[in-house]
Amino acid sequence: MMFSVVKKDGNARTGLLELSRGVIHTPAFMPVGTIGTVKAMSPDELKEIGAEIVLSNTYHLYLRPGHKIIESLGGLHAFMNWDRPILTDSGGFQVFSLSALRKIEDDGVHFKSHLDGSMHFLGPKEAMEIQAALGSDIAMVLDDCTPYPSTFEYAMDSLFRTLKWAEQCRELRREGQALFGIAQGSFYDKLRKKCIEELIDIGFDGYAVGGLSVGEPKEEMHRLICFTAPLLPKDRPRYLMGIGDLGDVLVAVEAGFDMFDCVMPTRNARNGTLFTSMGRVSIKREEFKADKGPLDPDCGCYTCRNYSKGYLRHLFLSREILSMRLNTIHNLYFYLNFFRNMRESVMEGKFTEFKARWQEIVS
Ligand SMILES: [Zn+2]
């Protein structure tokens, strides 16, 4: 894996992340393909709108259909027919957020499947084995996601587990698969700083900040984004996990983050909330009933080039499958295009203007 910063504008930066399966232009948005599919989209459609990398979830694929099955079918790329890069999370976040019952121990976590109630164990060794079987291009270390709010003592205990697991994952790093470390430490600057320093000592291909957007106030999140970014190595990709609200993305790119993932564009699309150059739009609004105009006249996506708001509203209210498809094509195109324009603004030294213009619209 090679990473190079091409241009800086303040702390915002645009760069190239080169993997054997393709080049990713940063800042990059990674559509989420939780169980090996970006919901409602075929891989060809994803390529057509410019997706360069997708994210898949270890926890979900481990439980169903199972990483061994996927491995026997040629790995995740062959399984889902996606030949561009894939990043897999380690499963840590889902174990902590989805599993009703879990017991954290020093060497991993016992948890109950949210599907059938069966018991499982996930430690650093298992997380690395699963991701190796899936064959992702970028793997993530197993981390202990600290709930919000947490006491300093709890956050510190959790941090030591995260660091120990990170070290074990690093030892099990597989040739040809990049590995990113994840900084935790809740909302305590001292712990975040310590975690990042220790992760840098262990040495990773890239660095992520996790444990944000867990119920904290926005100001806290933004403060921590700005605090952590300059602590991360300048010559490695910096990934802000699970943050995809475009207002937050603008703050994070300004601070120097490079990679993002979020279910926001895809989930909202299925619920009829669409992102446009005029702000968010709920497609079910009565006023769109006989509207023959496109959803967003400034958008060049397949949906906006071919369908009216009246038709999109009709499909949504009739719960047609095509509604989810057309809405997802638009929302993902909008996101990927937003990132394209953001990269261009950094290239031209105009990120401040870009941020000022979009902040109003997207918040
Ligand atoms: Zn569109």
Given this model, what pLDDT does residue 102 score?
A: 84
For residue 296, the CA-to-ligand 1 centroid distance in Å is 6
Cα–ligand 1 centroid distance for 116 (angstroms): 39
- Select the more confidently predicted residue: 147 or 177: 177
> What is the reported pLDDT for 96?
82
Tell me how far the alpha carbon of residue 8 lies from the centroid of ligand 1, in angstroms: 30
pTM of the model: 0.98
Tokens for 161, please give them: 């587990």
Break the chain down into helix, strand, coil percent, rounded to 5.
Answer: 45, 20, 35
Report pLDDT for 363. 81
The pLDDT of residue 340 is 98
Alpha-carbon 18 to chain mean position: 18
* Alpha carbons 26 and 253: distance in angstroms, whole number: 10
**For position 329, what pLDDT does the model report?**
98
**Distance of CA 84 from the midpoint of ligand 1 (Å):** 23
The active-site residue out of 9, 143, 261, 296 is 261
pLDDT band at residue 236 under the 50/70/90 scheme? very high
- 198-201: list long-range contacts, CB under 8 Å, 24+ apart: 198/163, 198/166, 199/163, 199/166, 200/233
- pLDDT higher than threshold 80 for residue 239: yes
9, 89, 205, 296: which is the annotated catalytic residue? 89
For 261-299, write each residue's pLDDT tens digit: 999 999 999 999 999 999 999 999 999 999 999 999 999
For all residues of the chain together, what is the average pLDDT? 97
Residue 339's identity, in one-letter code, is: F
CA of 295 to the centre of ligand 1 (A): 7
Calculate mean pLDDT across residues 43-66. Answer: 97
Q: Which residue from 191, 207, 187 is spatially nearest to 199, judged by alpha carbons?
A: 207
Render pLDDT for 28-42 as a digit per residue (tens, 0 to 9): 999 999 999 999 999
> Is pLDDT of 132 > 90?
yes
Question: Mean per-residue pLDDT for 151-179?
Answer: 97
User: pLDDT confidence of 97, banded at 50, 70, 90?
Assistant: confident
Mean pLDDT lowest for which of 86-100, 190-204, 276-290, 291-305? Answer: 86-100
Give the residue-averaged pLDDT of 296-322: 98
Q: Ligand 1 centre and the CA of 285: distance in Å?
A: 17
169: nearest Cα among 210, 195, 130, 211: 130
State both tokens at 340: 């394209």
pLDDT mean over 202-225: 97
The mean pLDDT value for 233-253 works out to: 98
Query: Tokens 């393709």 correspond to what residue?
Result: 22
Q: What is the mean pLDDT of residues 113-140?
A: 96
Q: Is the pLDDT of residue 98 over 90?
A: no
pLDDT(194) > 80: yes
List the structure tokens of 57.
């979830």
> Is 89 considered catalytic here?
yes
**What share of the chain has pLDDT > 90, as a percent?**
93
pLDDT value at position 3?
Answer: 98
As a whole number, mean pLDDT of residues 105-112 equals 92
**Is 44 one of the annotated active-site residues of the chain?**
no
